[in-house]
Amino acid sequence: MNLIKIDDINAPELDIFARVTEPQLRGYYESEPGLFLAETGSVIISALDAGYEPLSMLVETGRLEIEAMPVFDAIERNCGKEKRDSLPVYIAEQKVMVNMTGYHLVRGLWMAFRRKPELSIEELCRGSRRIAVLMDIVNPANVGAIIRSAAALGMDGVLLSHVSVDPLTRRAARVSMGTVFQIPWAKASREESEGTSLIDALHSYGFKTVAMALTEDSTSVDSDEIRANDKLAVMLGTEGFGLPKEVIAASDYRVMIPMHHGVDSLNVAAASAISFWELMK
């Protein structure tokens, strides 16, 4: 292992871990398609198993012997012994990590990866029967939880509008428990996300669209008629405002989850899990 001791939080080797924002990482070193950071051993191993290229690693000294060892094994398993031996592994004491500017470290284990080219909407839809569509969901915890539910409950992929959080942000990937590397996803461009453009695109690929929305004509999500469709796209909106009105109107179905005790809605991540379960029956 290529262990490099770090005593100064201002060391340039730590820039991508501490002083470069996640949006900046997408174009760091003018590399295409950019970089991303993964944190915690399980998430890092999921990224390695999915074929992402590791570039460097930052480990708290006290976590090197136990938590980092399975990661080194995963590097060798996926990239070979030469990569394991040559990958820069920066190690620092806890006080250095705690004082690091920028992001708060989670469990003292980070890895920088090179991104893969992202799927297009057409590539995602080709061969898929059930996909989740995230419209302008900007909370990374919700994005990660929805993707985890989509993967666990058998959805074929996830489509995100341009405004929605990048699934490879640290928190989204961590909350997803690494499933962002296990289920296909695509992020639409700004133009592809305008108005009802995503609805129109999904219709062109043969999908019926299901808007999760509380409207006068909403039906219960446990609908045999809806399940009978060969291709379904489940449209999920933001916590505060839900789906845009034009998206609701343009969808083939409007569905809701029956509630009790005067509760009118669920957190979007919880609602997604219920809707995926019902529609995959």
Within the chain, all domains assigned CATH 3.40.1280.10 are found at 121-279
Q: Cα Rg for the chain, rounded, in angstroms? A: 21
Q: How far is it, in rounded angstroms, from Cα 224 to Cα 227?
A: 5
Look at residue 102 in the predicted model and tell me its pLDDT. Answer: 45
Within the chain, all domains assigned CATH 3.30.1330.30 are found at 2-114
Residues of the chain with pLDDT under 70: 28-31, 98-107
pTM above 0.75, yes or no: yes
Q: Say yes or no: domain 2-114 is CATH 3.30.1330.30.
A: yes
User: Could you report the per-residue pLDDT of 237-255, keeping only the tens digit for each?
Assistant: 987 788 999 999 999 999 8
- Alpha-helical (H) ranges within the chain are 15-18, 22-25, 41-49, 69-79, 81-86, 94-98, 121-125, 140-152, 170-175, 190-193, 197-204, 224-227, 245-250, 268-279
User: Could you report the per-residue pLDDT of 158-181, keeping only the tens digit for each?
Assistant: 999 999 999 999 999 999 999 999
SS3 7: coil
Q: How far is it, in rounded angstroms, from Cα 246 to Cα 137?
A: 17
CATH class of 121-279: alpha beta
Look at residue 239 in the predicted model and tell me its pLDDT. Answer: 75
